[in-house]
Chain A
Amino acid sequence: MNDKGKIIAGIIIFFAMVTSPFWYNMFMEKTPPPKVVLTAKAQAAEKCVRDTKYMKANHMQLLDEWRDTVVRKAERIYVNAEGKEFTMSLTKTCLDCHSNYTEFCERCHQYASIEPHCWDCHINNPKENN
């Protein structure tokens, strides 16, 4: 056990490296969480397909359910708990209200370093002339 000193030193250095993101956040200037902009239409609607808290945490799961239901079950109408009906479509429903992709969807995704593949196929600027 005559390497004890080196081993303990190594463990401490490793621990420091692994927890470095937390030290960085504690002592350096933090990037503020993103501010998303609601379009006039979205503000007027007040409530999304589901309530805001649910959408923030679960919109990915909801979209997953939507895509399987539309393609595999051939059903296109979503009826939420209040009985309000929506067409299940990312571009035609979600982006119809939230038509400012760069100021809405992209902001949080960029902050969290997420690159969803949805936009490879689904059009994210249906209201702009392209």
Chain B
Amino acid sequence: MEDSRRQFLKIAGVAALGMGTVPVVKAVAASGGHGPQPHTRKGDDALSATQWGLVIDTTKMNHELVEHIVEACHKTHNVPAITADKVGEKTAIAHEIKWIWETHYHHAFTDKHSNYMSEDVEERPFLVLCNHCEEPPCTQACPTEATFKRPDGIVIMDFHRCIGCRFCMAACPYGSRSFNFRDPRPFIEETNLAFPTRSKGVVEKCNFCAERLAVGQAPACVEASEGAIVFGDLEDPNSEIREVLREHYTIRRKVTLGTGPAVYYII
């Protein structure tokens, strides 16, 4: 009597092992794989780089142009407009989603504060956005690699993987990231049908128009900027962007932190 339970377990174990091989055998049989296999590749028009970057010429900026640039980006990417008239002022500030926006010098460059500033620079609109840092603290923080640095330098979001923990938002030294505190769809005024929206519960930010670069187009902000924003490969010494950087003095935000921002500003 004592041995029969042990025997039963032994037989059950072997049976389970045997049955476990059935799906494996089936899979091997199915993957016949005669002839060419499906594969993927980049598009022929896709633009490539080692480190994408931007130079923003702030001397060419005015409020209308800046507004136009912000609108171009937000419209292209279905960024919701959660405004005070819809949800109240406090909530609008709390739930705001912005990929690129206008601010003042002393907000953009908090480490370059000066009591006596050039009047022109003090009044000038400055565009701030994700800097697609060379050593991003946000990708270091992400526990699922939902945000990661692509080989071409773009710091991009994988919205399918993001768990909405917002650690990347805490890590970003520039405040470039926004979180979807609610369903964004009711707040999208004009949906761009060629680009997805996001759902509630994920973090989002500028994606350097990766979907446009993939088909040979310039980022939306660059296109809308009437030449005030230049984009290109920072690692290519022959690129236009490097030419511009050689000719002008530029500054970047919070350089002492060692993040290596890829967005430069001509003052």
Are A92's CB and B41's CB within 8 A?
no
Q: Are B40 and A74 in contact (CB under 8 A)?
A: no
The residue from B40, B193, B215 contacting A75, defined by CB atoms under 8 A apart: B40
Instruction: Look across to chain B and name the residue whose beta carbon is closest to the beta carbon of A72.
Output: B158
In the bound assembly, the distance between CA atoms of A67 and B161 in angstroms comes to: 11
10 smallest CB-CB distances across A and B, nearest first, come from A120-B199, A126-B193, A121-B196, A75-B40, A80-B38, A122-B196, A71-B158, A77-B41, A69-B40, A75-B42
CA A33 – CA B152 in complex, angstroms? 48
Q: Is the beta-carbon distance between A123 and B191 smaller than 8 angstroms? A: yes
- Asked if B42 contacts A74 (CB within 8 A), the reply is yes
Q: Which residues of B contact A80 (CB under 8 A)?
A: 38
From A87, which residue of chain B is reached at the shortest CB distance? Answer: B43
Q: Does A91 contact B (CB under 8 A)?
A: yes
* CB–CB B199/A117 < 8 A: yes
A67 surroundings in chain B (CB, below 8 A): 160
Number of residue pairs spanning A and B whose beta carbons lie under 8 angstroms apart: 64
Asked if A81 and B37 make an inter-chain contact with CB atoms under 8 angstroms apart, the answer reads yes
A-B residue pairs in contact (CB < 8 Å), sample of 10: A69-B40, A76-B215, A77-B42, A78-B40, A79-B39, A81-B36, A87-B43, A91-B196, A92-B194, A121-B199
Q: Say yes or no: is B159 at the interface (Cβ < 8 Å to chain A).
A: yes
B40 touches A91 (CB 8 A): no
Candidates A50, A120, A122, A126; contact of B38 at CB < 8 Å: A50
Nearest chain B CB to A75's CB is how many angstroms away?
A: 4
Query: Besides the contacts A76-B46, A81-B36, what 4 more A-B pairs have beta carbons closer than 8 Å?
Result: A71-B156, A74-B150, A81-B38, A121-B197
Residues of A within 8 A of B40 (CB): 69, 73, 75, 77-79, 88
Nearest Cβ on chain B to A101's Cβ, whole angstroms: 13
> In the docked arrangement, what's the CA distance between A81 and B150, Å?
28
User: How far apart are the CA atoms of A122 and B198 in the complex, in Å?
Assistant: 8
